Structure 1
Amino acid sequence: MTTTPQAVRSIGDLLRKWRKQRLLSQNELAVKAEISARHLSFIENGRSEPSREVVLRLAETLGLELRERNELLLTAGYAPVYQHTSLQAPHMAAVRAMVRQVLAAHEPYPAVVLDRYWHRVEANEPAWLFGQGVAEELLQEPVNLMRVALHPDGLAPRIANLGEWRAHLLSRLRRQVTMTADPDLVKLYDELVCYPCDQHEPKIELPGPGDIAIPLRLRYEGHELAFFSTVATFGTPLDITVAELSIESFYPADTGTAELLRTITWPPAGSIN
């Protein structure tokens, strides 16, 4: 992608980069952040140093993720505000319990927990379905579910509507890159977009008659399963780890899929890393 982040040397450089990434003029950002355009101009030009409060206000106005807010604070010379705690830490027990409760309650349908980089954090037993026929090297920790889905040795050969589903996943990843400018996500996108696909990939997701969402159509033992998916995140996170967790839940898109999933005996699921 052409959005690969370039090195920045000052808080002014970093603010300018994010402002342009969000397609905002200095005046527009200043008005939204309730500071003077003159003050913002001085910050960007290195003629003024922003207070910690101003940095946080600008980060909020720019819609930065918690990780990027910490980066902005550090660049401005302030200590980071948001912790990045291991999910195994004792005080994260409530988070782990909630995640497991959600996954278990979703059975017999698949659900997976992902981090910012699309690594599998945990999955319920029916998510085993997504590992069938996948090359062993793609299932080594940390398991990247974008790679598993689109790699030619992964799930891709079993996805009946690969072109459509691939376009959907790459579109999600592009939006994530735009929001974060994370170089690791840029690298992942550049890798995935080079994977082969022998189906047409729609440039724009347009609905057909009766369509309500893009389904995942997956071949399994002579059947074609159809799923819709939802993504859930924590509403008011104050920790980077929690903020970057998402739970993707797959629901049957037809009665045949629902009935078949109820008949399968699943192997034990993996646990939180």
Structure 2
Amino acid sequence: MNTVGELLRQWRQRRRLSQLDLAIAADVSARHVSLVETGKSNPSADMVLRLATQLDVPLRDRNRLLVAAGFAPRYDERSLDDDALSAARDAVARVIRAHEPYPAVAFDRHWNLVMTNRAVDPFLAKVAPHLLRPPVNLVRLALDPRGLAPLVVNLADVRTGLRTRITRQLAAAPDAGLTALYEELLGSDPEGESLPLESEIVIPMVIRFDGRELRMFSTITTFGTPLDITLDEISIESYYPADAQSAAYFTEIDGRNPGSPTDRWWWRG
């Protein structure tokens, strides 16, 4: 088992910071950072969290740092069913619903769906039932030929974009489950390339659906200062029409189905 000093050094190197860089950011001496990393000084829980904050360590891994330093974990990991997260559930629902008539999804760190709004439902109508049994994985859903892949005109671009995003996610915070997902669905990608950031922004997702080609781009929303691991790991992806024709289609579909469900919570099954 790694010591807290070894773990902190790994995070510092992952963030490409020197001991001096970290010391200045955390308002401590570089010597103290060195002593903590080499195990010659035992940091307090507050010091562990101060350094972890400057290193942008995810809450799940901050708990691991605390345990390695001999302290109890500080951050809870509760189910979204928990009453304590009712306000967070409402916040996710508000963001998702407010984005209608355009599609929006919420997912966890492994890209498993948490919630979708009603604009997503038509695209799932012909998806194989086994792909819609929770946990529903968004990457698998997008790339599987029995899922959404037949609808995606620029599937190679979407696949490459997913490779880029998950590669960056793993570089920021390694995760065994996400690594397994990457290797299963993207590791053998013949393209084998990551998109430059500029291309990642300007290439939309193009979907052929209902006799039309819909062009969309997306943005990501996360909780700003979560104190719960579950919330720390939820992302909301909102899709926007990239042209007037696509926007008109979503408005038209929304007008046809005014009484349909407004959202679907996927973690409940």
Of stretches 137-146 and 83-92 in structure 1, the one that deviates more from structure 2 is: 83-92
The 5 A counterparts of 1:33-112 are 33-112=26-105
Q: Does 2:248 align with 1:270? A: no
In the aligned structure 2, how far is the partner of 1:224 from the partner of 1:166?
A: 18
Q: Is 1:177 the counterpart of 2:166 in the alignment?
A: no
Matched with 2:212 is 223
Alignment of 1:97-136 (within 5 A): 97-136=90-129
| TM-superposed deviation, 1:74 | 1.1
Is the CA contact (8 Å cut-off) linking 1:32 and 1:61 kept in structure 2? yes
Shift of 1:40: 2.1
Q: Which runs of 4+ in 1 moved over 6 A?
A: none
- The alpha-carbon distance between structure 1 residues 241 and 207, as it changes in their structure 2 partners (threshold 3 A), is closer
Which residue is 1:255 aligned to? Answer: 244
Q: Does 1:142 align with 2:131?
A: no
The CA distance in 1 between the partners of 2:24 and 2:198, in whole Å, is 38
In the TM superposition, what is the alpha-carbon distance from 1:206 to its structure 2 partner?
6.7
Distance 1:207 1:77 in 2: 44
**How much has 1:102 moved relative to structure 2?**
2.1
CA-based RMSD = 2.3
1:205 paired residue number: 196
The secondary structure found in structure 2 opposite 1:224 is strand
Q: What SS class does the counterpart of residue 71 from structure 2 fall into?
A: coil
| Structure (1/2) with the larger helix percentage | 2
Contact 1:160–1:217 (CA under 8 A) maintained in structure 2: yes
Contact 2:161 2:195 in 1 (8 A): no
Identity of aligned residues (%): 46
Instruction: Determine whether 1:243 maps to 2:232.
Output: yes
Change (3 A) 1:76 1:99: same
Tell me: CA distance 1:196–1:25, structure 2 relative to 1, closer, same or farther (3 Å): closer
Any conservation in 2 of the 1:150–1:166 contact (CA below 8 Å)? yes
Moved more, 76-85 or 33-42: 33-42
Aligned to 1:164: 157
1:202, distance to aligned residue in structure 2 (A): 5.9
Structure 2: any 5+ residue segments left out of the alignment? none
SS at match of 1:97: helix
The whole-number CA distance in structure 2 between the counterparts of 1:92 and 1:203 is: 36
Conserved 8 A contact 1:119-1:142:
yes
- Of 157-166 and 25-34, deviating more is 25-34
Segments of structure 1 that go 5 or more residues without pairing to the other structure are 1-7
Asked if residue 192 in structure 1 is aligned to residue 185 in structure 2, the reply is yes
Q: Which amino acid aligns with 2:78?
A: T
Q: In the alignment, is the contact (CA less than 8 A) between 1:164 and 1:202 conserved in 2?
A: no
Alpha-carbon deviations, 1:80-138, whole Å to 9, x = none?
Answer: 11221221111222222222222222211111111111111111111124424433222
* TM-score of the superposed pair, with normalisation by structure 1: 0.87
Asked if the contact 2:19–2:34 (Cα under 8 Å) also holds between the matched residues in 1, the reply is yes
- Taking the aligned partners of 2:192 and 2:213, their CA distance within structure 1 comes to 20
Equivalences, count? 262
* Corresponding position: 1:22 with 2:15: yes
Q: CA deviation at 1:236?
A: 1.8
Segment of structure 1 superposing worse, 151-160 or 86-95: 151-160
Is the CA contact 1:150–1:195 (under 8 Å) kept in the aligned structure 2?
Answer: no
